Amino acid sequence: MKTWSMKSKNLSEKILKTLNSKGFDYIELDSVIETNHIVQRSGENFRKFIFSFFDQNGKELCLRPDLTIVSCLRYLENNSKKKEKIFYSGQAYRKSLDAKKSIIRNQIGFEIFGSKNEKKDDKEIIKTSIKSLSNIFYTSGTLKIGNVEVFNLLINKLNIPKRWKLRLKRHFWRDKYFNDLVKRLENNSDVDPTIVELDMKKYQQMLNEKKQRNIAGRSLLEILKRFNSKIKDPRKAKDGRKVSKIIKDFLKISCPIEQAAEELNIFFKKNKINLAVDQSYFPISQNKISKLNVKFSASLGRNLEYYTGMVFEIYIKSKNSKINIINGGRYDNLIYDLGAKKTIPAVGAAINLL
């Protein structure tokens, strides 16, 4: 396990000073939070990655596995209604399937909450990230930018049932499961005419049964309602193959950031999709900033569930090693999902200290 070295401490202090000079205010975050805040966001399967325990009242708590969620909880609990520019430092604790990886991640995070000037804030978070790198020695690097919103807009335009659109958008961040969904679209594994006919017969039988009866934990009424929506909005095999190809081709789009709008618009036109983007949609349009090559990637944003818009990551090269040093993006729904009465604009980044 890596220890918190003096070198890392000195680097942390320099970065914190940089953030303070950019108008961000320092805050302290809770180290322990309620487990359900994490499990409700990431699912029961995520429980195996957290360090949880029960307090004297039987409430399940856990060490924070993610600093961004804790920061959003603080904003929510303070009932803040104004714009905030904050930063913090600390450790996140998460188990890994890789035994060689440390369970402790030392991070510095900085965020902007409650501001409606999205494009300005997105640009400020990226510019501040780049400025923070001036405290670190590196020879070269890559700033990769994507946007989850573009993917969601594309899915909305595709000729597939609404339930499939919701699935693809909801599971975009779950790489393996998402790929399985796209494969199902491609090979039409769920559009077997024989199975469909059997399902229709079963549906007719169930219509005559008591609607209050439970089957596998769901009421018969709920099952019938869902099946009825499938009947009214069927998925055709031909459409599935076409949509699958469009999705896979979209996710392959990768180019210098200066060409992002052009490449996307060529793709939309080729596939007869009524969408268009302007280059001003992206927070940066320079192909080179400092020592960083700036690129666009349509598939970026598939590592965290809560991203809703712009996403980015920075890799640097130092002493023949490639290091993921900064990750960030926009997550306008996160505070709402944690209990707010409405969506609150939020964008931020996390610096991974070595």
Looking at the structure, tell me whether residues 110 and 213 fall in a common domain: no
pLDDT above 60 (res 51): yes
Which amino acid would we find at residue 88? Y
Which residue range is the domain that position 148 belongs to? 6-29+64-154+247-352
Mean pLDDT, rounded, for 329-347: 93
- Quick check: 296 and 145 in contact, CB under 8 A? yes
In a domain, 178, yes or no: no
Looking at the structure, tell me whether residues 142 and 281 fall in a common domain: yes
Looking at the structure, tell me whether residues 196 and 280 fall in a common domain: no
Looking at the structure, tell me whether residues 336 and 201 fall in a common domain: no
Strand partners, 347: 112, 330
Buried/exposed 6-15: b ≥16 CB within 10 Å, e otherwise: eeeeebbeeb
In a domain, 159, yes or no: no
In a domain, 90, yes or no: yes
What values do phi and psi take at 341, rounded to 5? -80, -15
Quick check: helix, strand or coil at residue 297?
A: strand
In a domain, 264, yes or no: yes
Predicted local confidence at residue 192, as pLDDT = 46
Cα separation, 251 vs 111, whole angstroms: 28
Contacts of 226 (CB under 8 A, 6+ apart): none
User: Could you give the maximum distance between any two Cα atoms of the chain, in Å?
Assistant: 73
Cα separation, 41 vs 334, whole angstroms: 9
Q: What is the mean pLDDT of the chain?
A: 86
**N-term to C-term CA, the chain:** 12
* Total number of domains in the chain: 2
Looking at the structure, tell me whether residues 299 and 341 fall in a common domain: yes
Cα separation, 349 vs 16, whole angstroms: 13
Predicted local confidence at residue 191, as pLDDT = 47
pTM: 0.82
Cα separation, 260 vs 274, whole angstroms: 17
Strand partners, 315: 142, 324
Please state which of the ranges 87-101, 210-224, 329-343 shows the lowest mean pLDDT: 210-224
Looking at the structure, tell me whether residues 10 and 68 fall in a common domain: yes
Quick check: helix, strand or coil at residue 241?
A: helix
Quick check: helix, strand or coil at residue 223?
A: helix
Q: pLDDT digits over 294-312, tens only?
A: 999 999 986 677 899 999 9
Mean pLDDT, rounded, for 221-227: 64
pLDDT above 60 (res 198): no
In a domain, 334, yes or no: yes
pLDDT-derived band at 218 (thresholds 50, 70, 90) equals low
Domain boundary among 234, 268, 293: 234
Nearest to 141 by CA among 336, 323, 354, 343: 323
Looking at the structure, tell me whether residues 16 and 146 fall in a common domain: yes
Mean pLDDT, rounded, for 146-167: 93
Quick check: helix, strand or coil at residue 240?
A: helix
- Quick check: 266 and 277 in contact, CB under 8 A? no
> For residues 236 and 336, which has the higher predicted lDDT (pLDDT)?
336
Looking at the structure, tell me whether residues 198 and 345 fall in a common domain: no
Predicted local confidence at residue 4, as pLDDT = 41
Mean pLDDT, rounded, for 219-225: 66
Predicted local confidence at residue 1, as pLDDT = 37
Looking at the structure, tell me whether residues 348 and 269 fall in a common domain: yes
pLDDT above 80 (res 224): no
Domain boundary among 171, 205, 234: 234
**Token pair listed for 87:** 């930063």
Looking at the structure, tell me whether residues 211 and 263 fall in a common domain: no
Please state which of the ranges 69-78, 92-101, 171-180, 191-200 shows the lowest mean pLDDT: 191-200
pLDDT-derived band at 230 (thresholds 50, 70, 90) equals low
Predicted local confidence at residue 6, as pLDDT = 46
pLDDT-derived band at 34 (thresholds 50, 70, 90) equals very high
CATH number at residue 291: 3.30.930.10
Looking at the structure, tell me whether residues 133 and 273 fall in a common domain: yes
pLDDT above 50 (res 318): yes
Cα separation, 217 vs 237, whole angstroms: 31
Q: pLDDT digits over 235-283, tens only?
A: 566 778 899 999 999 999 999 999 999 999 999 999 999 999 999 999 9
Q: What percent of the chain lies above the pLDDT cut of 70?
A: 82
Looking at the structure, tell me whether residues 121 and 223 fall in a common domain: no
pLDDT-derived band at 23 (thresholds 50, 70, 90) equals very high
Task: Give Cα 111 to chain centroid, integer Å.
Answer: 16
In a domain, 117, yes or no: yes
pLDDT-derived band at 204 (thresholds 50, 70, 90) equals low
